[in-house]
Amino acid sequence: MSTAQSPTPRRRGRPRKNEAADTRTHIVTAAHDEFMAKGFDAASIRGIARAAGVDPSLVHHYFADKSDLLAASLDLPMRPDVELPRILATPPAERAATLVRFILTVWDDPVVQKRGMLLLRSASGQGLVSRLIRDFVVREIFARVAASIDADDAELRAQLVATQIVGLIVLRFGLRVEPLASADVEEIVRRVAPGLSVHLIGPAEA
Amino acid sequence: MSTAQSPTPRRRGRPRKNEAADTRTHIVTAAHDEFMAKGFDAASIRGIARAAGVDPSLVHHYFADKSDLLAASLDLPMRPDVELPRILATPPAERAATLVRFILTVWDDPVVQKRGMLLLRSASGQGLVSRLIRDFVVREIFARVAASIDADDAELRAQLVATQIVGLIVLRFGLRVEPLASADVEEIVRRVAPGLSVHLIGPAEA
């Protein structure tokens, strides 16, 4: 998403737009370095602004918060952290189905698939990027799902939900095994959501 | 598993053992080339023997069947195709639990984890090795699971089982997210098996 403006036609008399794109790119690069050096928790908007040589207000002009900056610096093809609150706000009985439907629909986009599979591979590595991706996933995805679950073991439940989602992504979009790869979205939702609901809804309905 | 004999002490007067290891390695290399060139289906023990310049009976001396040869040429750290019949022969009510318990226990071995994650990454690629791994998985794993399911949609069910298993492997052994990575095996079995059973047992119990 950080490079979305690249095919801009080169015209004279429109320097401000390019300048803005440059500034944004410059901030994203500084953010990337800062996240790598300090990790997600210790990095700050203020420190990123300093590294980019701009005022913090300019960073806030382009990016809503630190997660937004991280998403740009990891070049995330979608924003699970932004979409999740909407999904988790649906009635408990529909929540698992809404989640599975959302994932399968969003990953249908080839850009999401390509970049997403790369990120998934990177996440299982050992380096700084791997840790950064895992930090983001644990803090911005798992923690949100866990917060929606009214149970002592909410964290484990959130991660068990993730196992089903990740497995679906790997087999449907990564390995593309048939008949799963071509199966109707609603067919998969119908089969997988009940099992997920047990983890996702918490003890009352389990 | 094909290179397990490498740290053999070099002594005089024991040429037969090394010779045997060399012959085996030679056959595995020929098998690898043959599988790459022709795929799993079209490759044959006879063709592999010819490529290795040995009699087919010698290939059969070292390898039980074509799957055994493929497992050696992919350097599989475990043999899901060999273990599956035992797992699938357990009573239906215990089958999902036995499967999850087996996977989590076997993957506890660091060698299985390291080699297994590499194979999982390779499988989602585009090249000949990727296709070979997928062929093996589809034919030797999914097909066996599907054959054990008494339902018209047995293939899809087998792959949905696989999504849960692969997701567990990725998050517990690849990303190592906590608390999932350290959770007790039986705790995970207890939580995941009921959902798997719905796919695995077929329509009667579904």
Of A130, A121, A138, A98, give the one whose Cα is nearest residue A173: A121
Q: Which pLDDT belongs to residue A16?
A: 64
State whether residue A185 sits within 8 Å of chain B by CB: no
- Compute the Cα dihedral for A85, A89, A92, A93 and give only its sign: negative
**Helical (H) or strand (E) element with B178:** none
Q: Are B31 and B72 in contact (CB under 8 A)?
A: yes
Residues B120 and B183 in one domain: yes
Which of A175, A184, A199 best tests the B interface by mutation, with the highest count of B CBs <10 A? Answer: A175
If asked whether residues B64 and B102 sit together in one domain, one would say no
Q: Does B85 touch chain A (CB under 8 A)?
A: no
Judgement on whether residues B165 and B140 belong to the same structural domain of the protein? yes
Q: Are residues A60 and A141 in the same domain?
A: no
Domain end (from A26, A54, A73): A73
Say yes or no to pLDDT of A4 above 80: no
| B153-B157-B163-B169 Cα dihedral, nearest 10 degrees | -150
Q: Range with the lowest mean pLDDT among A124-133, A183-192, B155-164, B184-193? A: A124-133
Residue B8 predicted with pLDDT over 70: no
Nearest to B31 by CA among B2, B8, B10: B2
Does A123 touch chain B if contact means CB atoms closer than 8 Å?
yes
Cα B44 to Cα B69: distance, rounded to the nearest angstrom: 10
Tell me, yes or no, if B177 comes closer than 8 A to chain A by beta carbon. Answer: yes
Query: Domain holding B58: CATH number?
Result: 1.10.10.60
Q: Inspect the interface and report whether the beta carbons of B123 and A179 lie closer than 8 Å.
A: no
A72–chain B Cβ distance below 8 A for any pair:
no
What tens digit of pLDDT does each residue of A57-95 get? 999 999 999 889 998 988 888 888 889 999 999 999 999
Residue B150 · residue B203 · CB < 8 Å: yes
Q: What percent of chain A has pLDDT over 90?
A: 61
Domain C-terminal end among A57, A73, A89: A73
Predicted local confidence at residue B176, as pLDDT? 92
pLDDT at A1: 42
* Of A162, A175, A192, Cβ closest to residue B124: A175
**Same domain assignment for residues A156 and A95:** yes
Alpha helices (runs of H) in A12-109, residue ranges in sequence order = 15-42, 45-52, 56-62, 66-73, 80-88, 92-106
Domain assignment present for B93: yes
Contact (CB<8Å) B170/A170: yes
Is A4 inside any structural domain?
Answer: no
Q: Which residues of A touch B191 (CB under 8 A)?
A: 156, 160, 198-199
Q: Is B167 touching A (CB cutoff 8 A)?
A: yes
- Ranking A101-110, B15-24, B66-75 by mean pLDDT, the lowest is B15-24
- Within a 10 A sphere around the Cβ of A146, how many other Cβ atoms? 18
What number is the average pLDDT over the span B54-76? 91
Asked if A124 and A55 sit in the same domain, the reply is no
Is there a domain that residue B98 lies in? yes
Q: Which residues on B lie below 8 Å from A199 (Cβ)?
A: 191
Residue contact A159–B142, C-beta within 8 A? no
Full 3-state SS string of B17-57: HHHHHHHHHHHHHHHHHHHHHHHHHHCCHHHHHHHHCCCHH
pLDDT tier, B16 (very low <50, low <70, confident <90, very high otherwise): low
Q: How far apart are CA B164 and CA B167, in angstroms?
A: 5
d(CA B30, CA B44): 11
CATH of the domain at A124: 1.10.357.10
Same domain (yes/no): B84, B54: no
Residue B183 and residue B149 in one domain: yes
Residues of chain A contacting residue B180, judged by C-beta atoms under 8 Å apart: 156, 159-160, 163
A159/B177 Cβ within 8 A: yes
Peptide bond into A15 cis (omega under 30): no
The full length of chain A comes to: 206
HSE-CB for A36 with a 13 A CA cutoff: 13
pLDDT of B11 higher than 50: no
The answer as to whether A7 is a domain residue is: no
Report whether pLDDT(B205) > 70: no
Residues A56 and A90 in one domain: no
Q: Which region among B10-14, B51-55, B171-175, B198-202 has the lowest average model confidence (pLDDT)? A: B10-14
Q: Are residues A88 and A127 in the same domain?
A: yes
Distances B23 to A5, A130, A194, B53 between C-alpha atoms, Å: 59, 41, 53, 10
Q: CA-CA distance, A193 to A88, in Å (whole number)?
A: 14
In chain A, residues with a C-beta closer than 8 Å to the C-beta of B183 are: 156
Best to test chain A binding among B175, B186, B192 (most A CBs inside 10 Å): B175
Read off the pLDDT of residues B109-141 as tens digits, 9 standing for 90 and up.
Answer: 999 999 998 888 888 888 888 888 888 888 889
For residue A40, what pLDDT is reported? 85
- Is the preceding peptide bond at A80 cis, omega within 30 degrees of 0? no
Residue B10 lies in a domain: no
Residue tagged 């997403």 (tokens): A116
User: Among A73, A93, A112, which residue terminates a domain?
Assistant: A73
pLDDT of residue A184: 97
Q: What percent of chain B has pLDDT over 70?
A: 90
Q: Could you please report the per-residue DSSP string of B73-100?
A: HTT-SS-HHHHHHHHHTS-HHHHHHHHH
In a domain, A3, yes or no: no
Confidence of residue A11 (pLDDT cuts 50, 70, 90): very low
The answer to the question of residue B90 being in a domain is yes
Say if residue A132 is in the same domain as residue A187: yes
Please give the C-alpha separations between residue B130 and each of A133, A152, B118, B123, B142, in angstroms, as whole numbers: 25, 41, 11, 4, 16
**Average pLDDT score, chain B:** 87
Residue with tokens 């300019």: A58
Which residue segment(s) compose the domain that A103 sits in? Answer: 80-201
Average pLDDT, chain A: 87
Shortest Cα distance from A123 to chain B (angstroms)?
A: 7
Torsion sign, CA atoms A38, A44, A48, A51: negative
Q: Are residues B133 and B185 in the same domain?
A: yes
User: For residues A138 and A145, is the Cβ–Cβ distance under 8 A?
Assistant: no
A36 touches chain B (CB under 8 A): no
> Residue A37 domain-assigned?
yes
The total of structural domains in chain A comes to 2
Q: Are A198 and B195 within 8 A, CB to CB?
A: yes
Residues of B in contact with A120 (CB under 8 A): 170
Closest residue to A156, CB basis, from B120, B156, B179:
B179
- Nearest chain B CA: its distance from A122 CA (Å): 10
